[in-house]
């Protein structure tokens, strides 16, 4: 009698079906939704009350490129053989800024999420990843600027005017995947370390500055003393940027060796970052 | 009925919450150790992780399905720590917590609320963090706003809201689902008198109509006595008494 009344009652009120996460796929879907919500939040915050809004993501790299190319090609007189310096610049600079921004934002991601992880149960790996995803979405807009600059110069030393239609552009997603894996690893590692040692915040900003100058972003590799040049191959950012420049600037399909080097660097960084993060994450809540 | 050590499978069918001999240790020394220099100095002096504080010490409790279970104790006795372990926010240092079903933790409301975003955006953001799907939030959006009575201000940034209004939205989002387990930590004291009544009605509806299991913490011993069937009394992290709510509350009252 009473149970019948109960079911009638619940039927009438039609309670919302509570979401259940039994399978791996549904858990992944849940995490993905949180991830995209966080990225959406960051975007809304970034461009709230700005007139141009997301257009800034396109405009910014172009403006930076103009400043840098004026400084380095007119003041320092760096020249590249047969390729436009501005395109050389914007390629290095946009790729490098993915790493620089995602790592310095990822660094703070667990600290930022502190009030959150104290309140709800949520997979912590989402927070550093959200910063990387944010940078890549942002890069999607910046890439419009890169394409615009490439079209402006519409440049290919070998073929002349066939650059944008060429087949080797298909390798671009590959290098972006390598870079994403690399940045995620960095983000995991730095966010975990920052929870325990706030010094990392200060150290990392200096380190990124050093890295910026140690990578041929606005100078050609050839300006370095010959004895330093071989060491450059240990710089992952140099590898990723060279890969991208080979495709767009020189119209080459990157070699298998280049692919393997980039992938190995990315996976190694990811493995270290992920392991440190996984080991440390259960203690986060006590330190943030 | 005697209490044999039932195996896990049996337990899962009878109980919604199983807390088995749980201990939570905090390192007091670690609290102010946030620089590398300090860390290495302490490491060399072997003073690292020296002081330990037992927030919760070997506490076990079993909550049956549909039960309303109270936790009483003075400030700093470990009630909130225990709740957070049940909610899965804190991981116990020792022991295990088993939960069967969906939890709605009303411990600290408004996780992930962002002052710059509008109420509408925050509902989606907070909902996602509570584990709701986009479709689910979409389907129950009106219900949430109705409950919070916020139709006029939906597109205003949250920073312009009063704290009471923020609490209303938070409560509305957290209770829009019908959870299997509801964890309530004095959140009933949000909003004005009328909203408090509304919240209590909602919780009562969950208990009576949907047989939700409730874990309830309050300083108001009368409230615990009124609402709960069973209760546990924790003192300085240790279990003092466990059993029928009336008996436990009576003993707790007499101890003071």
Selected for mutation to probe chain B from A18, A34, A195, A286 (highest B CB count within 10 Å) is A18
Q: Which residues of B touch A34 (CB under 8 A)?
A: 128-129
Closest CB to A48 among B88, B116, B209? B116
Rounded to whole angstroms, how far apart are CA atoms B26 and B7? 31
Selected residue of B80, B128, B158 to mutate for chain A interface (largest A Cβ count, 10 A): B128
HEC profile for chain B?
CCCCCCCHHHHHHHEEEEEEEEEEEEECHHHHCCCHHHHHHHHHHCCCCCCEEEEEEEEEEEEECCCEEEEECCCCCCHHHHHHHHHCCCCCCEEEEEECCCEEEECCCCCCCCCCCEHHHHHHHHHHHCCCCHHHHHHHHHHHHHHHCCHHHCCCEHHHCCHHHHHHHHHHHHCCCCCCEEEEECHHHCCCHHHHHHHHHHHHHHHHHHCCEEEEECCCHHHHHHHCCEEEEEECCEEEEEEEHHHHHHHHHHHC
Q: Given this model, what pLDDT does residue B13 score?
A: 63
Digit-coded pLDDT (tens) for A2-61:
444 444 344 334 444 555 666 778 888 889 999 999 999 999 888 888 888 888 888 988
Angle at A152 between CA A149 and CA A155, to 5 degrees: 95
**What is the per-residue pLDDT for B136?**
92
A191 pLDDT band, cuts 50/70/90, is very high
Check residue A17 and report its DSSP letter. P
Rounded Cα–Cα distance for residues B161 and B77 (Å): 34
Q: Which helix (H) or strand (E) holds A258?
A: helix A256-280
CA gap A128, A124 in Å, rounded: 8
The pLDDT assigned to A188 comes to 97
Point out the residues of chain B with pLDDT beneath 50: 1-12, 31
ipTM score: 0.78
| Cβ-defined contact of A30 to B131 (cutoff 8 Å) | yes
**d(Cα B191, Cα B165) in Å, to the nearest integer?**
7
Spell out which residues of chain A touch residue B125, defining contact as CB-CB under 8 Å. 37-38, 40-41
User: CA of A222, closest CA in chain B: separation in Å?
Assistant: 39
d(CA B232, CA B248): 7
CATH number at residue B229: 3.40.50.300
Of B252 and A184, more confident: A184
- pLDDT tens readout for residues A113-171: 988 888 888 899 999 999 999 999 999 999 998 888 888 876 555 555 454 455 677 78
Place of tokens 């003041």: A75
Give yes or no for residue A105 having a pLDDT over 90.
yes
Residue in the structure block whose two tokens are 């959150």: A116
Verify whether the Cβ–Cβ distance B129 to A285 is below 8 Å: no
Q: Are A18 and B178 inside 8 Å of each other by CB? A: yes
Q: pLDDT tens, A197-213?
A: 989 999 999 999 999 99
In a domain, B158, yes or no: no
Query: What is the edge-to-edge ordering of all strands in the sheet holding B52-64?
Result: B52-64, B15-27, B94-99
**Distance between CA A95 and CA B70 in Å, rounded?**
56
d(CA B4, nearest CA chain A) in Å:
30
A16 token code pair:
């919302």
Count of domains for chain B: 1
Q: Return residues 155-184 of B near A (CB < 8 Å).
A: 176-180
Burial B35-57 (b: 16+ CB within 10 A, else e): eeeebeebeeeeebeeeeeebbb
B41 touches chain A (CB under 8 A): no
- 3-state secondary structure (DSSP) of residue A219: coil
Q: Quick one: average pLDDT of A259-272?
A: 96
Q: Where in the sequence is the domain holding B233, given as residue range(s)? A: 8-102+217-255
Is residue A12 within 8 angstroms of chain B, CB to CB?
A: no
B212 inside domain: no
Give a yes or no: residue B248 inside a domain. Answer: yes
C-alpha angle with apex B119: B114 to B121, nearest 5 degrees? 70
Q: Determine, yes or no, domain membership for B183.
A: no
| Strands, sheet with B230-235, edge to edge from the N-terminal-most edge strand | B103-106, B181-185, B213-217, B68-72, B230-235, B238-244
What is residue A203's predicted lDDT score, i.e. its pLDDT?
95
Rounded distance, CA B187 to CA B108, Å?
A: 8
Could you report how far apart the first and last alpha carbons of chain B are, in Å? 33
Give domain status of residue B109, yes or no: no
| Lookup: tokens for B214 | 């409730």
**Does residue B147 sit within a domain?**
no
**Among partner residues B27, B108, B209, which is closest to A10 by beta-carbon distance?**
B209
The pLDDT of residue B34 is 62
Short-list A254, A262, A214, CA closest to A236: A262
> Is B91 among the domain residues?
yes
Give the pLDDT score at A3: 42
Specify whether the CB–CB gap between B81 and B71 falls below 8 A: no
């Amino acid at each position: 009698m009473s149970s019948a009344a109960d079911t009638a009652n619940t039927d009438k009120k039609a309670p919302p079906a509570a979401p259940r996460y039994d399978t791996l796929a549904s858990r992944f879907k849940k995490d993905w939704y949180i991830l995209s919500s966080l990225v959406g939040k960051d975007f809304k915050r970034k461009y709230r009350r700005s007139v141009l809004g997301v257009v800034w993501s396109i405009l910014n790299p172009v403006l930076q490129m103009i400043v840098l190319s004026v400084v380095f090609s007119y003041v320092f007189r760096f020249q590249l053989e047969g390729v436009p310096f501005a395109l050389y610049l914007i390629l290095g600079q946009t790729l490098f800024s993915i790493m620089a921004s995602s790592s310095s934002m990822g660094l703070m991601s667990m600290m930022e999420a502190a009030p959150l992880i104290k309140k709800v149960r949520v997979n912590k790996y989402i927070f550093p990843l959200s910063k990387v995803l944010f940078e890549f979405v942002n890069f999607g807009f910046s890439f419009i600027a890169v394409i615009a600059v490439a079209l402006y110069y519409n440049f290919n030393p070998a073929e002349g005017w066939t650059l944008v239609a060429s087949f080797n552009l298909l390798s671009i997603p590959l290098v972006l995947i390598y870079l994403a894996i690399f940045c995620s690893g960095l983000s995991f590692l730095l966010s975990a370390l920052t929870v325990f040692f706030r010094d990392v915040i200060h150290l990392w900003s200096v380190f990124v500055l050093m890295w910026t100058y140690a990578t041929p972003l606005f100078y050609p590799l050839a300006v370095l003393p010959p004895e330093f040049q071989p060491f450059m191959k240990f710089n992952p950012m140099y590898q990723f940027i060279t890969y991208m420049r080979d495709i767009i600037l020189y119209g080459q399909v990157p070699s298998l060796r280049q692919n393997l080097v980039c992938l190995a660097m990315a996976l190694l960084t990811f493995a270290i970052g992920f392991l440190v993060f996984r080991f440390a994450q259960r203690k986060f809540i006590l330190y943030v | 009925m005697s209490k044999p050590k039932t195996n896990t499978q049996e337990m899962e069918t009878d109980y919604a919450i199983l807390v088995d001999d749980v201990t939570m240790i905090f390192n007091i020394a670690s609290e102010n150790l946030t620089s590398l220099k300090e860390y290495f100095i302490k490491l060399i002096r072997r003073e690292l992780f020296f002081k330990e504080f037992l927030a919760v010490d070997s506490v076990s409790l079993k909550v049956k399905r549909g039960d309303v279970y109270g936790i009483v104790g003075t400030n700093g006795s470990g009630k909130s720590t225990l709740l957070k372990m049940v909610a899965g926010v804190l991981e116990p240092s020792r022991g295990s917590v088993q939960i069967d079903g969906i939890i709605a933790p009303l411990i600290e409301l408004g996780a992930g609320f962002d002052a710059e975003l509008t109420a509408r955006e925050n509902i989606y953001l907070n909902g996602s963090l509570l584990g709701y799907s986009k479709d689910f939030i979409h389907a129950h959006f009106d219900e949430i706003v109705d409950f919070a009575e916020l139709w006029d201000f939906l597109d205003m940034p949250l920073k312009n809201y009063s704290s009471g209004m923020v609490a209303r939205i938070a409560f509305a989002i957290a209770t829009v689902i019908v959870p299997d387990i509801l964890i309530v930590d004095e959140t009933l004291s949000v909003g004005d008198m009328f909203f408090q009544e509304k919240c209590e009605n909602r919780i009562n509806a969950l208990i009576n109509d949907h047989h939700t299991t409730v874990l309830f913490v309050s300083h108001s011993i009368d409230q615990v006595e009124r609402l709960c069937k069973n209760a546990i009394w924790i003192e300085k992290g240790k279990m003092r008494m466990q059993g029928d709510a009336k008996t436990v509350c009576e003993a707790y009252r007499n101890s003071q």
